[in-house]
Structure 1
Amino acid sequence: MMCSTSDTEETLVEAALRVLNTTDPFEKARLGDEVANKWLQGIITRPYDEFLDLPVHDRPARLANVKLVSPSEMPKLGKAGSLRSRQAIVHSLVHTESWAIDLSWDIIARFGRQESMPMDFFTDFVKVAQDEGRHFILLAERLEELGSFYGELPAHDGLWDSAIATSKDLLARLAVEHCVHEARGLDVLPTTISRFRKGGDDKTADLLEKIVYPEEITHCGAGVKWFKYVCSRSLNLLMCSNNDEVSRDMEDEVIQKFHATVKDFFKGPLKPPFNEPARRAAGFGPQWYEPLAVKNFSTNSNS
């Protein structure tokens, strides 16, 4: 008996799991780019098999070549004034991007079918995953040009600790990983870029300013967009035919849900200063994050 094409075609979730189960980060990025192109070109057409419940491991496959320490034990990165400091900063960015690849494929594999997400959800995070893979490769290549390599310096896995904490809750994953951690990246990147320029490293500064920074705004924007969607759907308030929009009368309830979710799943307050223009470009204004800042957190945490 012959199987039809639809019976044998690999789904996006199955392909995402292949990426997550790939240990080498460079191969992971390459495979992720291949899968992304197949999805965006319509070669992979089904996001998932509705009758197939595929397990997603708590941690993706990773090489053991990076020495992991707790965040508190990480050596200071410096301010890019010396070669060693520039190496340390770029190494930290490479490590972050390696996890960002896994985070993007994990949200597809872990939540797409379970939450019955629309096709645009898969496409948005496929694009994010492809960007993160490109960032990883470019930054790893730049690190080698600076005389180092990924794995030479220690790193921490705080980003994936948050992923494990939010592995059962899509709203929490979107809020913490994409609207807190990724937004924090938007806050600090301009300073990082400035430090590389002052240190005479325009090549790294250009890479961060012209490629990484603008694309990270869109990644944070994907988190904000889908947080609004899932929150509105769960509140039975989704009245817009356009999933990008949440009407003004919904906004307060969505923001309150965001505040409650961050307090439940993220330890401590958010740290200013905030990059308000970049955050606004990503789709959320100060009313989302300022009440969660250091100076306001203690007074609002019991509200």
Structure 2
Amino acid sequence: MAEPDPEQKLALTEQTATAWQTGRLSPDATQAAATTETAGLPAQLELVPPRQLVARKLSSRDGRAAMIHAVAHIEFNAINLAWDAVQRFRDMPGEFYEDWIRVAVEEATHFGLLRERLRDLGHDYGDFPAHNGLWEMAQRTAHDPLIRMALVPRVLEARGLDVTPGMIARFEAADDPETASRLRIILRDEVGHVAAGSRWLRSLCEARGLEPRSHYFSLLDQYMTGEIRGPLNLADRRRAGFDEEELERLQARCQR
């Protein structure tokens, strides 16, 4: 998590996942988590408030690169979030770590796909400013895995399910099918990431005697002021574990 160099972070992710898969790592709830409040990012990356990011048209090469950079930054931070969940939340079932180590590996693959495309366009990760909203939400949910599952996979990453089909269409319209094809891979995998969040939200609610649906919406009210942006990608949200009542209630919030 603390490693700022992208190449090293991808290599360490692969090494750690392999160590887990071959039985050289195992959960130990008796050891304190060596957590961090910051995550490693390239030194040249400028972090700014979201309102300072300038929207660019995909009709230009630099405009396409800026959009790809924005998604690459999300994927890089998602690597950090997956490892944070593994390291921070102790005394969880082994399947929890299996899920989030898999997610870390897939997020690393996504970042690699996008960084390669950035380089094709004459840029690299760190060439454009970015915001740190995803990691800020990780900090806000660091005290409770249930809240983390509700608000990161099932809000922020689920938002990716909603917007990625539109991005794919825009890149295709800009005569960039290569980027569109990489975004399709990311969308396919992100359904599974949101599904893992759905699964663990329900598991943790059951363990605490909470009704998952009502508790989820209570957390939205508490942390997100109830705000949900639409339109929703209903088909992929269903595949990611949202039930029909949840989708109806989320759509009602989009229309406020």
Structure 1: how far apart are the matches of 2:9 and 2:253?
Answer: 41
- Mark the CA change 1:290 to 1:160 in structure 2 (over 3 Å): closer, same or farther: farther
The higher radius of gyration belongs to 1
CA RMSD of aligned residues (A): 1.7
Structure 1: how far apart are the matches of 2:135 and 2:220?
Answer: 16
In structure 2, which of residues 147, 151, 167 is the aligned counterpart of residue 176 of structure 1? 151
- Mark the CA change 1:297 to 1:203 in structure 2 (over 3 Å): closer, same or farther: closer
Question: Which residue is 2:49 aligned to?
Answer: 70
Confirm or deny: 8 A CA contact 1:175 1:224 kept in the other structure. yes
Give the alignment's TM-score, normalised by structure 2: 0.94
Aligned ranges for residues 244-259 of structure 1 at < 5 Å?
Answer: 253-259=211-217
Question: Which residue is 2:75 aligned to?
Answer: 97
Instruction: State the one-letter code of the partner of 1:264.
Output: Q
1:19-43 deviations in Å (ceiling 9; x for gaps): x121212211211111112212323
Confirm or deny: 8 A CA contact 1:276 1:285 kept in the other structure. no
Question: Which residue is 2:65 aligned to?
Answer: 87
1:166-192 deviations in Å (ceiling 9; x for gaps): 111211111111000111000011110
Structure 2: how far apart are the matches of 1:297 and 1:172?
Answer: 25
Aligned ranges for residues 1-303 of structure 1 at < 5 Å?
Answer: 20-44=1-25, 46-48=26-28, 50-78=29-57, 80-111=58-89, 113=90, 116-209=91-184, 211-235=185-209, 253-293=211-251, 295=253
Confirm or deny: 8 A CA contact 1:68 1:154 kept in the other structure. yes
Instruction: State the one-letter code of the partner of 1:57.
Output: T
Structure 2: state its 5+ residue gaps.
none
Structure 1: how far apart are the matches of 2:56 and 2:225?
Answer: 23
Number of aligned pairs? 256
Give the alignment's TM-score, normalised by structure 1: 0.80
